[in-house]
Chain A
Amino acid sequence: MPRRYAKSSGCAIHVNSMSELFTAGGNRKIDLLLSARFRSFFYQTVLAVLVIFVGWYFVSNATRNLLELGVASGFGFLAREAGFEIGETTLLSYSAIDTYSRALLVGILNTLHVAALAIVFSTVIGLLIGLARLSSNWLLARLAAAYVEMIRNVPLVVQLFFLYAVITESLPAPAEALRPMPGVFFSNRGLAFPTFVSLLPIVLEHPQFSGFNFAGGGSLSPEFTTLLFGLSLYTAAFIAEIVRAGLRSIDPGQLEAGYSLGLSSRQITRFVVVPQALRVIIPPMTSQFLNCTKNSSLAVAIGYPDLVSIANTTINQTGQAIEGVVIIMAVYLTISLTVAGLMNWYNRSVALRGSPT
């Protein structure tokens, strides 16, 4: 970074040009011009021209190609009728006669739905596994370590395919569904569970088996169940490592100091360990939450209609490739920036006052 010197002090400029005196042989004024401001101006201009040229080249090609294909560019297609069904419309009613914009909205909501739930589950599971890895029980610690290694060294999409195969091939039909808990049914049609009809008094609506599937209560499709389980278990392995590193970052002396002050071990955890560990844990946790959201786009591989999957269908039907990809990228960037912003805000509230983080 020679520029910093050139700007900051005259002495450095002198040294800079001295070293070049040996090579250029004395033409100091021109060297100075070449080495400092001129070069900076030159490089930046070249880069700007290059970027603009490549951009212009792509845009002009795209315009010509689209014209030849007869595709009208722009977002006008959003108001047209979509004409395809979506398998899962839990959060927003939708049918084939609705518009593309509504279809994409369903996709966005589906992405947010699965990502939000997966973030919650993976945090809980990750915390437990991180604690298990630090357990004094050898068996538990080894088991947690094996889990982390197994999950982290296999691609998520393979895990999703595997889970999907387990659910659709190995689980029994709804008539003989597994019942891990009373009222909860796990079958090759997904997960069925009781829902609250009212909270006071507590009234539950249990899923009832009728014909070929369950009716009543709540249910999750095999695709959603796969994605939720897969994402949660995958992200949990990464979160476990973050939790472990965070807890190990605390000096044992801190605990000893706490004990010598007469704090109970619960108080030490609450007032000594957790606040300090959170400072180490929050920043990498943010990127895991973002990864989890981005990884939910793998839904397209198992046929869960998330944003990417619906945008892909839209692109195939309308030929509006550029607009489709722009929508996908805009939505993910918005989600990324929002989550990052929220987590930074939370991080500031747990950080040491006056510290730069």
Chain B
Amino acid sequence: MNLNRRSKGIEPLSWLRARLFANWFSSLVTVTLLALAWRFFPPLVDWALIEAVWSPEKPRLCRELMGQGACWAFVADKYRFILFGTYPAESHWRPALAISILIALYILSAYRHSRGSRLVVAWLAGLVVVGWLMCGGLLGLSYVENERWGGLTLTLLLSTCGLAFAFPLALVLAFARRSELPIVRWSAIAYIELIRGVPLVSVLFMASVMLPLFLPAGVSIDKLLRAQLAMILFAAAYLAEVVRGGLQAIPRQQDEAARALGLNYWQRTRFVILPQALRIAIPPLVNTCIGFFKDTSLVVIIGLFDFLTTIKVSLGEPAWTGFGVEAYLFAATGYFLFCFPMSRYSQTLEQQRAPGMGMDRVRSIGEVR
């Protein structure tokens, strides 16, 4: 265990010795790992790259090489379905543009100087445009019903809209849980703990089998909207706890100082408490977002055609049965490409915050009563 992380000023030449062969145990570990890599890495490269079949015209070749070479032809053949679902083929540029807009908004949000009200406006405008592109029926675009939305587009839409709607609800829940009013507080606690105590799968089931029973006869909500609703209600409970954590980190004196300045409740919340609390809560919020993005894959269980479901369904085609390993490796890579940058981003934020903001000092002062 290297608990003592003090720099010892290692010279470049002795790096190997210090980091890989420091003592007999370390040397043993290094040799074992290298031997394992020697044994397993070349066959893996052979399978994944050298012997692999890339061209989608040859599903039969895939079958002949099964076990020796990977069948990436599967991905090459089905990529449109995996990206856009059953969206009309001639309009594939619309979901493609929608995906680009969403990704651009994610990147925009990650920049430090683009926070604040301008970002909110950008998001609202972006979501309206995305909604228009996907639905159509306005300004020259033909209408496309939401049963045909699918693939990566649906995954991004479910997670983005889910978070966008869950966040305001989470703010309300977080403040309600800290409220002085017993009925408000206990309602929030009951809701949050109930949702956090059960798996998302059961919430999705609830939305798909129970919700229709709760509505008056004749009123029906389509499957996609029900799943989206379930995901919003689910995410809100988790986000609320993160926001509450941020609120708890704000020293009481901040509220008292704002009160002394004559600010009312809404002004104190809007200009003093919330900005500070959210800044503290950003890294855990990003982590919750990653979790939520991953959780959207569970809609496979209630049969919505998201990124994962389209891959699973493609595997059901006779030409491609039996290539699950390749297909799910591709799925894993797809999710990783979205989650890993987010997780890096949240780690960077945490490291930036630790020395600079002096938040710990503020907090410890706040603790003194």
Contacts and interface: CB of A to CB of B under 8 A. Distances in A.
Interface string B216-227: 110000000000
Contacts, number: 199
A143 B30 CA distance: 11
B183 interface: yes
Given A58-B214, A332-B197, A164 B324 contact: yes
Given A156-B294, A294-B199, A322 B213 contact: yes
Contact of A321 (B3, B210, B336): B210
B139 interface: no
B210 A325 contact: yes
Contacts of A138: 19-20
B146 interface: no
A162 B325 contact: yes
A213 interface: no
Interface size classification for chain B: 35 or more
A295 B199 CA distance: 7
Nearest to B216: A61
Contacts of A294: 198-200
Nearest to B21: A137
Contacts of B19: 136-139
A158 interface: yes
Interface residues of A, number: 75
B205 A1 contact: no
Chain B contact residues, majority secondary structure = helix
A247 interface: yes
B331 interface: yes
Given A19-B264, A161-B328, A162-B328, A139 B336 contact: no
A332 B29 CA distance: 42
A313 to B, nearest CB: 12
B3 A250 contact: yes
Given A137-B30, A162-B329, A308 B214 contact: no
Given A44-B184, A170-B325, A301 B301 contact: yes
Nearest to B264: A19
Interface in A144-176: 149-150, 152-159, 161-162, 164-166, 168-170
B20 A169 contact: no
A153 B343 contact: yes
A333 interface: yes
B205 A312 contact: yes
A320 B324 CA distance: 35
11 contacts: A1-B255, A137-B26, A155-B295, A155-B297, A155-B298, A159-B332, A161-B331, A165-B325, A297-B201, A322-B210, A328-B202
